[in-house]
Structure 1
């Protein structure tokens, strides 16, 4: 009998507890609303942090070096799976960390503690000046030089017609002749006359190349301002005819050098 009496009492207690919860909700709609909002905000922050850490990350464009592909003050989203899960190739627009402080010494917007916190969790773009955006022109082992009789840059002996160049800019005003080191890429800005890029460091031991390990990801899209919405600016088509390796005579010259 004791067990049979306990079971109905347990059900009754559950019904009473459920009734109390409903009564509390009915009596405190504001508390219920605030609680639900707090849950949504916490979930949004957690999801944003996971996305920013492993998949996508937002950055701020501070200079004109990638015009007109990317404009000053554009906010871009970067695919963190490239390089790694996805490949980086010639023509890709990438963000990399300026670990050698070559190009990241410019000014950056002032931020407050709230903005820094939002950047940390991925709800605001990173405005740090030690992150730089450029276009990959040469992969490891590539022979990159300027220029042919028509003023075009050559990659492994193949002249490149670059539709993304800033209107009126030459492919390069400075001559160069480099072979990209292993596990590195060679990068240029689209606004060549206003870009400090790999050309500025051709006399260094690595000839201005950036280690692949310094690449944060590939530009995926412009997300702000809305009138500039577009893809990330990568364009591999001009490099489709580039051979995988430099011509034999270029490799011989490099060995002799």
Structure 2
């Protein structure tokens, strides 16, 4: 007999295999549950984004991974000085990338694991909110003015001017004026002054607030608007 002993008991060969199979099934179920839980957390609570460029130096360096709160603005207003992550499709990025679907899927997987940046999701600093008049380089003052008041910006990349060209915009309801800290290399609201929407980003496109640098570990720190030293003392 091969399947059972003479007494009808399962053979030793079969009794050894069943626990091993049950163990692997438990591991696979646990891994699947962990992936689903992580996906839910990243879709609704927190996400991790890879920084691919130097447009937010010196605060963020290429290769940094940042923690982004998707719920930060559920019960709070977006404020001047906040560092936000937003979907740039239709504004800073084309609506369709033109890449093969397979390549798009590979990029999405890489971004999910923090191994690649997105070409449609950006991180910038909020300079103007609804009702603000944001101007630069007027009346001989090189600083940006918000509602007529010049503001100091200690977070701007060393050696950069507040802006390479003049602008004067009024931010309408539901829109934001966003700029990178490394002004000389940042593609931001200034880049779209002549386009539909005038470079003003919809608040509905904001994914969340950048709250902490997670990686590399030696650069781990909170991203706090107030701790950056900017004094946003203008009144709308």
Same fold (TM over 0.5): yes
Q: What do residues 124-183 of structure 1 show as CA deviations (whole Å, max 9, x unaligned)? A: 466320111110000011010113644211111221111111111111121111101110
Give the CA deviation at 1:216.
0.8
Asked if 1:94 is matched to 2:84, the reply is: yes
Counting matched residue pairs gives: 218
Q: 1:137 aligns with which of 113, 116, 127?
A: 127
Give the CA deviation at 1:67.
0.7
2:49 matched to which residue of 1? 59
After superposition, the CA RMSD in angstroms is 3.1
User: Structure 2 CA distance, aligned partners of 1:113 and 1:174?
Assistant: 38
1:241 matched to which residue of 2? 233
Distance 1:115 1:189, change over 3 A: closer
1:208 matched to which residue of 2? 199
User: Structure 1 CA distance, aligned partners of 2:104 and 2:207?
Assistant: 24
**5+ residue gaps, structure 1:** 1-23, 246-257
Give the 3-state SS of the residue equivalent to 2:230 in structure 1.
helix
1:168 matched to which residue of 2? 159
TM-score by length of 1: 0.73
Give the CA deviation at 1:228.
2.1
TM-score by length of 2: 0.79
Give the CA deviation at 1:70.
0.7
Asked if 1:184 is matched to 2:167, the reply is: no
Where is the helix percentage greater, Structure 1 or Structure 2?
1
Structure number, greater radius of gyration: 1
User: Structure 1 CA distance, aligned partners of 2:82 and 2:53?
Assistant: 19
Query: Which stretch has the larger CA shift, 171-180 or 30-39?
Result: 30-39
Where is the strand percentage greater, Structure 1 or Structure 2?
2
User: Structure 2 CA distance, aligned partners of 1:34 and 1:135?
Assistant: 47
Give the CA deviation at 1:29.
5.6
Distance 1:115 1:203, change over 3 A: closer
Give the CA deviation at 1:206.
3.0
Query: Which stretch has the larger CA shift, 34-43 or 83-92?
Result: 34-43
**5+ residue gaps, structure 2:** 1-13
1:83 matched to which residue of 2? 73
Q: What do residues 59-102 of structure 1 show as CA deviations (whole Å, max 9, x unaligned)? A: 11111111111111211121111333333110011111112153
